[in-house]
């Protein structure tokens, strides 16, 4: 398997970049936003965390074998939804433009562009692996298995005493709640409030 998957180091680099761009940096920015009392950016970062939670759901779904297909799809759509969530809101975009140029605004803008580029490229790179979500034969091939190594290591580190099936059920519950929340937003909130974020609860 080691010899077959020449891109394994690239997959692990991708997971490390995901931790950096989608977890560590936005967490620091959220704390910074609260310190600066930047309500607009606080709001956008809270929205980001809601949307990006699909990445964590994907990790749990990629632990048990029966949920792998859902995990691949959740990971792909998370990369699509994250950039949309960061640029969709007209009122937030206008407010960010109007704010004076300060270190926090610069750091936030740099991160927003960086995570947008990262997620967009990541989604494009994952397109060839779409078959992993629908074909059990492909899922057993190193071509797909390499993407499961990091979630399996996550289980060893953080859930050593939990069964894969239990973690998969947690992932499915999270996915169901996520899809329901997204459907509510698209059907109800979007029709009512449009691209205005600051009125959201």
In a domain, 101, yes or no: yes
In a domain, 198, yes or no: no
The Cα 199–Cα 201 span in angstroms is: 7
Picking from 121, 145, 123, 120, the residue whose alpha carbon sits closest to that of residue 132 is 145
In a domain, 56, yes or no: yes
Give this prediction's pTM: 0.92
| Coil vs helix vs strand at 63 | coil
Picking from 197, 199, 178, the residue whose alpha carbon sits closest to that of residue 96 is 197
How many structural domains are present in the chain? 1
Q: How confident is the model at residue 199, as a pLDDT?
A: 64
The Cα 59–Cα 158 span in angstroms is: 12
The Cα 46–Cα 54 span in angstroms is: 14
The boundaries of the domain holding residue 94 are: 8-193
In a domain, 85, yes or no: yes
In a domain, 200, yes or no: no
Q: How confident is the model at residue 86, as a pLDDT?
A: 97
Q: How confident is the model at residue 155, as a pLDDT?
A: 96
Q: Residue 104's CB: how many other CB atoms inside 10 A?
A: 16
The Cα 67–Cα 58 span in angstroms is: 9
Q: How confident is the model at residue 17, as a pLDDT?
A: 96
In a domain, 199, yes or no: no
Instruction: Please list the pLDDT of the chain residue by residue as tens digits (201 residues).
Output: 344 788 999 999 999 999 999 999 999 999 999 999 999 999 999 999 999 999 999 999 999 999 999 999 999 999 999 999 999 999 999 999 988 889 999 999 999 999 999 999 999 999 988 889 988 888 888 889 999 999 999 999 999 999 999 999 999 999 999 999 999 999 998 888 888 887 654
The Cα 89–Cα 152 span in angstroms is: 36
């Amino acid at each position: 398997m080691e010899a077959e998957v020449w891109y394994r180091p690239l997959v692990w680099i991708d997971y490390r970049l995901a931790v950096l761009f989608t977890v560590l940096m936005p967490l620091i920015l959220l704390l910074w936003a609260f310190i600066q009392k930047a309500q607009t950016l606080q709001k956008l970062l809270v929205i980001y965390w809601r949307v990006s939670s699909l990445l964590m759901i994907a990790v749990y779904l990629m632990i048990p074998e029966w949920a792998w297909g859902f995990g691949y799809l959740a990971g792909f759509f998370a990369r699509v939804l994250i950039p949309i969530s960061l640029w969709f809101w007209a009122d937030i975009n206008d407010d960010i433009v109007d704010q004076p140029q300060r270190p926090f605004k610069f750091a936030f803008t740099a991160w927003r562009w960086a995570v947008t580029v990262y997620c967009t490229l990541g989604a494009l790179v994952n397109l060839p692996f779409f078959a992993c979500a629908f074909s059990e034969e492909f899922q057993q091939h190193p071509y797909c298995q390499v993407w499961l190594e990091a979630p399996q290591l996550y289980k060893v580190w953080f859930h050593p005493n939990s069964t894969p099936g239990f973690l998969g059920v947690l992932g499915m519950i999270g996915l169901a709640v996520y899809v329901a929340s997204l459907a509510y937003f698209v059907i109800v909130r979007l029709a009512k409030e449009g691209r205005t974020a600051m009125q959201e609860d």
